[in-house]
A and B are shown apart, each in its own frame.
Chain A
């Protein structure tokens, strides 16, 4: 087993009026800058809907949860709806426990 850290990466893509942020690697404190930048880029087109794609995320720690809360706060201020796709069962549970799932659509 290789436990080397996986660099975080966030990539924004646009498909019609769907904007997706593809998240990759570990969501921890070091993901802050890239995640914020990706979010700013995603909402630059003044859209009402942003999809967070977690399919390639292998680890989220509590600091990562805090980053997502921060993102959610910004999105709500701007009336942007967030949807999460590709969460593993375990992280779905964590989204439920933290009640992130009350504010982010989980698909």
Chain B
């Protein structure tokens, strides 16, 4: 709705009707003008609280300025300009403009008929003018909305261009990252820097502000961090250099919180420094530990020092780096997700299940379905899998280990195994059909291991190892079952026999596995069975022919 608070439209209207270009309108009631200089008046701005406006709103017709007894600077100004009649333009009870008319050239008074004509003119012109004003206003609003949308697109484009396309594959470690921007993109980012000596830097940062300004500061910070990391090793020194380089470039009142950790994947040794970022958590056998280190956010003050701390990650331990979008999420009762809840959830979550997925499910449950995400949510997890001291066994020689994990022998858990394998091989197997086939084979082999090998014994998990080389992907699935060996030459399931009641409807597992992969091997001894699935990474025949 148009209100007096918005004077711009009225003023523009004013100038149009009071300035030189308004000659024709001003002359409506008078005789044909001899010379425009006699009737053109100066532009006039009327203060929103001038009593004239309130008066005109309810005047109900043509107003003779001479008879008007009102203490108003606008009235004085109009009189000085030679205006004698004001025709208020009122639409739906609102004053939206006025026609100001000077004396008649003949110097005679305006007749009753003149005034009636003016009144009629006003009653027809007012709604038309109102429509024009609304159209103008909508155009301005639409342009503004488009500008905001465009800004959102640019900000999100910058951010997506700079985030890593994939997580690093480190033997013996599982790294996963999740990033969900808010509608108005925040300044979250994460990054991995892999060094030639095998060490890897993990970075999670958050820029204050949102939209394009945040995205630009993010881009700058990221490139400074990279160049600092190339020359320096110690996390504290990297943050110090970044802070000093960023300080002169960052707009006032903006800053960046940043956690920087350097991992030696061979020993599990982790060294880290923190520039005011949310403290990461590490889940250990004895509970959740905070990775605290003192330091001011980047870009606030030059010459800052950053404390450096260290930890050595043991098999099974898991580190969570995250941004405040998670802990500061609110539910419908304005209750915050909060650090205590996060800490508790990290402690509670089941080994083998992805921590990111678990936390996101918990967040979704907490916020409810209609949640409007207030800030970016970033989660980066790093998990130490294998016993790092153990050298790779011969069955993996020539293969690069992508990941290995264990799944509890529980009904339905084959799906978990399948999804976890899919997550890491998606980028290795481009062919969707091959991926789907391998997923089914992994699920079936895991089911086989849980059911026949481990007898669904919770104390006996299924071990899954994913390997790759240049031409193939391999998944090894081992149970802890002794005794009965897997017989790959057992009865081949035949649907005719099954339908005739000569075979049980079951017994499809091994048959399916074999059909789903390029190679299936079974390794077994007195203590365990391992099904080895191999899929070639080359294109399908159909693709090669093209």
Residues in chain A within 8 A of chain B (CB atoms): 1-5, 26, 28-30, 59, 61-63, 65-67, 69-70, 72-73, 76, 89-90, 93-94, 97-100, 102-103
Nearest 3 Cβ contacts at the A-B interface = A62-B508, A69-B505, A90-B436
Of the candidates A26, A59, A67, A100, which one forms a contact with B495 in the assembled complex, judged by CB atoms under 8 Å apart?
A100
Contacting residues, chain A, for B360 (C-beta < 8 A): 2
Of the candidates B440, B495, B505, which one forms a contact with A94 in the assembled complex, judged by CB atoms under 8 Å apart?
B440
The minimal Cβ–Cβ distance linking B378 to chain A, given in whole angstroms, is 16
User: Chain B, 20-46, contact with A by CB distance < 8 Å: what is the 0/1 string?
Assistant: 000000000000000000000000000
- The verdict on B1 contacting chain A, using a C-beta distance below 8 Å, is no
Of the candidates A3, A62, A69, which one forms a contact with B416 in the assembled complex, judged by CB atoms under 8 Å apart?
A3
Contacting residues, chain A, for B361 (C-beta < 8 A): 2, 4
The minimal Cβ–Cβ distance linking B55 to chain A, given in whole angstroms, is 66
Assess the B412–A66 pair: CB atoms within 8 A: no
Q: Which residue of A lies closest to B503 (CB)?
A: A69
A-B contact pairs, 16 of them (CB 8 A): A1-B423, A3-B420, A5-B412, A26-B415, A59-B415, A59-B443, A62-B444, A62-B447, A62-B509, A63-B447, A66-B505, A73-B498, A90-B433, A93-B433, A98-B512, A103-B499
- Tell me which residues from 482 to 519 in chain B have a Cβ below 8 Å from any Cβ of chain A: 493, 495, 498-499, 501, 504-509, 511-512, 515
**Count of chain B residues near A, Cβ 8 A:** 34
- Tell me which residues from 260 to 285 in chain B have a Cβ below 8 Å from any Cβ of chain A: none
Q: Which residue of B lies closest to A88 (CB)?
A: B436
Give the secondary structure class of B's interface.
helix
Assess the A61–B447 pair: CB atoms within 8 A: yes
Contacting residues, chain A, for B411 (C-beta < 8 A): 29-30
The minimal Cβ–Cβ distance linking A58 to chain B, given in whole angstroms, is 9
User: Chain B, 340-365, contact with A by CB distance < 8 Å: what is the 0/1 string?
Assistant: 00000000000001100100110000
The minimal Cβ–Cβ distance linking B16 to chain A, given in whole angstroms, is 60
Contacting residues, chain B, for A76 (C-beta < 8 A): 499
Contacting residues, chain B, for A98 (C-beta < 8 A): 493, 495, 508, 511-512
Residues in chain B within 8 A of chain A (CB atoms): 353-354, 357, 360-361, 411-412, 414-416, 419-420, 423, 433, 436-437, 440, 443-444, 447, 493, 495, 498-499, 501, 504-509, 511-512, 515
Which of A1, A72, A93 lies at the interface centre, i.e. has the most chain B CB atoms within 10 A of its CB? A1
A73 to B508 Cα, complex, angstroms: 16
Contacting residues, chain A, for B505 (C-beta < 8 A): 66-67, 69-70, 73
Assess the A94–B512 pair: CB atoms within 8 A: yes
A26 to B440 Cα, complex, angstroms: 13
A99 to B74 Cα, complex, angstroms: 92
The minimal Cβ–Cβ distance linking A25 to chain B, given in whole angstroms, is 11
A2 to B515 Cα, complex, angstroms: 28
The minimal Cβ–Cβ distance linking A106 to chain B, given in whole angstroms, is 14
Of the candidates A1, A65, A89, which one forms a contact with B508 in the assembled complex, judged by CB atoms under 8 Å apart?
A65
A81 to B432 Cα, complex, angstroms: 32
Contacting residues, chain B, for A73 (C-beta < 8 A): 498-499, 501, 505
A93 to B420 Cα, complex, angstroms: 23
The minimal Cβ–Cβ distance linking B445 to chain A, given in whole angstroms, is 11
The minimal Cβ–Cβ distance linking B167 to chain A, given in whole angstroms, is 14
Which of B360, B433, B508 lies at the interface centre, i.e. has the most chain A CB atoms within 10 A of its CB? B508
